[in-house]
Amino acid sequence: MSTDLAIGVHDLSLRTTSLVLPHAELARYNGSDVAKYHKGLGQRAMSVPTEDEDIVTMAAAAALPLIERHGPDDVTTVVLATESSVDQSKAAGVYVHSLLGLASNTRVVEVKQACYGATAGLQFAAGLVHRDPRQRVLVIASDVSQYDLDSPGEATQGAAAAAMLVTADPALLELTGPSGLFTADVMDFWRPNYRATPLVNGKESVAAYLDAVEGAWRDYRSQGGLPLTDFRGFCYHQPYTRMAFKAHRQLLETAGAHLDEEALHRDVAPTTSYNETVGNSYTASVYLALTALLENRDDLDGRTVGLFSYGSGSVAEFLAARVRPGYRAHLRQEAHRRAVEDRQVIDYATYRSLRERSLPTDGGWHELPHRTQGPFRLTAVRDHQRIYEAA
Ligand code: COA
């Protein structure tokens, strides 16, 4: 940012669903070698929503600890990024605003560009805080990733939300300029309004992602961005965690750096622990990687880390952030560990029956069973409206 005022992420909180399907169970069902999932994709399990969980309940659950710690005052804007939205018109963040009891003089908006949306939200938030440093902006990334049953993408499903409070003088992370940007009109992954699951050209999406790494890094450097050697870690969007290693290889190659396997591992491995067990959480994925990096490394005081955000279609951004001294005192690793470990393990049949159900569309009054372990639930659909309540 072209200002001396430090602006960035003051607090960061993650939540996922109450159920988890191990990849070993998926492999048992479809006859795949489980090593393809564990080693080839770098995935061990995927979060699965209960009947009464969705992007709204996860988003509110992720944001609640931020409001409890810092209070609701001066939260002037809520930006919720998602590509698995529950309504074509109403912003999902309005439900979250209500569940959190935020003030009526708040601006709420939903942002969409595949898995990239939350990074746009972060930049919009930084702009608002720059204009008025008293403002605090809640940026939430929340997604349920679902592909067609029995398709290659099924192994890369998942669900999670990441909530960030963006403020002046942040405790965790200061956003620094410039941003490396890259947009290309490609059809690697898209979801027409009439479909519940996306259409995806899997191999093309990997190639498009790698093109975007190259393009965004070149743009970042052409604007005077820091050299590779100034970075102490790299967080990538992780549709599956092996993708982060492919991406970093591409970055090193583009930057003309030596392809050192040890450095590759050191730079990326600390970022994958949440994503490998939660699965693809679309907009939230790169922020799960960031959280893992901050929690798994204790030597980042004052250091710069890189974030690469990619959304199919495609839009990408590479940005640098300086970790604030003393950041570890503000992390929430115990709550995050519990959110992941407390999930109930389900078998393939249970997962399949959950996937094959859909919410009634007849406009009647349908109560949903209480299954979530989270603080908020979707209790019913009535007159085509979703009814959310504290659990
Ligand atoms: N042991 C170890 N590794 C194995 C293996 C085994 N038994 N079998 C396969 N693999 C490896 C493959 O060599 C491959 O590695 P590579 O990527 O380094 O080439 C990897 O596992 C995936 O195998 P592949 O045959 O390519 O998988 P797939 O045809 O099922 O498709 C995706 C993989 C990612 C394209 C598919 O899951 C998909 O479409 N996902 C959704 C879209 C997505 O996530 N895109 C990413 C960019 S946004």
DSSP secondary structure string, 272-304?
-TTHHHHB--GGGHHHHHHHHHHHH-S--TT-E
Q: Which atom of ligand 1 is nearest to the CA of 201?
A: 39
The strand pairing partners of 17, in sequence order, are none
Residue from 39, 41, 197, 285 whose mutation best tests the ligand 1 pocket (most atoms within 8 A of CB): 41
Residue from 23, 33, 34, 36 whose mutation best tests the ligand 1 pocket (most atoms within 8 A of CB): 36
Per-residue DSSP letter, 4: S
Q: How far apart are CA 146 and CA 275, in angstroms?
A: 15
The closest of 276, 241, 391, 340 to 17, measured between CA atoms, is 340
The string of DSSP letters for 113-173 reads: BTBTHHHHHHHHHHHHHHH-TT-EEEEEEEEEE---TTSGGGGG-EEEEEEEEEEES-SSE
Q: Do domains 7-173+331-390 and 175-326 have the same CATH topology?
A: yes
The alpha carbon of 306 and the centre of ligand 1 are apart by a number of angstroms equal to: 25
Helix (H) or strand (E) holding 212: helix 202-222
pLDDT of amino acid 2 = 46
Q: How far apart are CA 137 and CA 124, in angstroms?
A: 9
CA dist list (Å): 212 to 55, 269, 390: 27, 21, 41
Task: Tell me the per-residue pLDDT of 367-378, one tens digit each, with 9 for 90 and over.
Answer: 999 999 999 999
Q: What is the distance between the terminal CA atoms of the chain, rounded to a whole angstrom?
A: 41
The answer to whether residue 97 is catalytic is no
pLDDT of amino acid 3 = 54
* Domain 175-326 = CATH 3.40.47.10: yes
pLDDT of amino acid 40 = 98
Give the sign of the dihedral formed by CA 87, CA 116, CA 46, CA 334.
negative
CA angle 324, 326, 330 (to 5 degrees): 95
CB 179 within 8 A of CB 123: yes
Please compute, for residue 135, the number of CA atoms within 13 A of its CA located in the half-sphere on the CB side: 18
Fold of 7-173+331-390: Peroxisomal Thiolase; Chain A, domain 1 (3.40.47)
Task: Tell me the per-residue pLDDT of 26-50, one tens digit each, with 9 for 90 and over.
Answer: 999 999 999 999 999 999 999 999 9
pLDDT of amino acid 371 = 98
Low-confidence ranges of the chain (pLDDT < 50): 1-2
Protein residue closest via CA to atom 23 of ligand 1:
40
* Residue 147: alpha-carbon gap to chain centroid: 17
Residue spans per domain, the chain: 7-173+331-390, 175-326
- Helices 202-222/242-254 angle, 10° precision: 40
3-state SS, residue 210: helix
The structure tokens 């992602």 sit at 209
Pocket residues for ligand 1 (CB within 6 Å)? 33, 35-36, 39-41, 152-153, 155-156, 200, 202-203, 205-206, 209, 239-240, 243, 312
Q: Residue 108 has which token pair?
A: 């709420």
Q: Residue 158 has which token pair?
A: 């998942």
Averaged pLDDT score across all residues of the chain: 97
The alpha carbon of 278 and the centre of ligand 1 are apart by a number of angstroms equal to: 17
Number of H helices, E strands in the chain: 12, 17
Does the N-terminal peptide bond of residue 270 adopt cis geometry, omega within 30 degrees of 0? no
The catalytic position among 53, 115, 276, 336 is: 115
Give the sign of the dihedral formed by CA 23, CA 39, CA 191, CA 91.
positive
Antiparallel, parallel or unpaired: β 19-22 and 158-168: unpaired
The strand pairing partners of 234, in sequence order, are 306
The strand pairing partners of 315, in sequence order, are 183, 311
CB 7 within 8 A of CB 1: yes
Q: Which atom of ligand 1 is nearest to the CA of 35?
A: 1
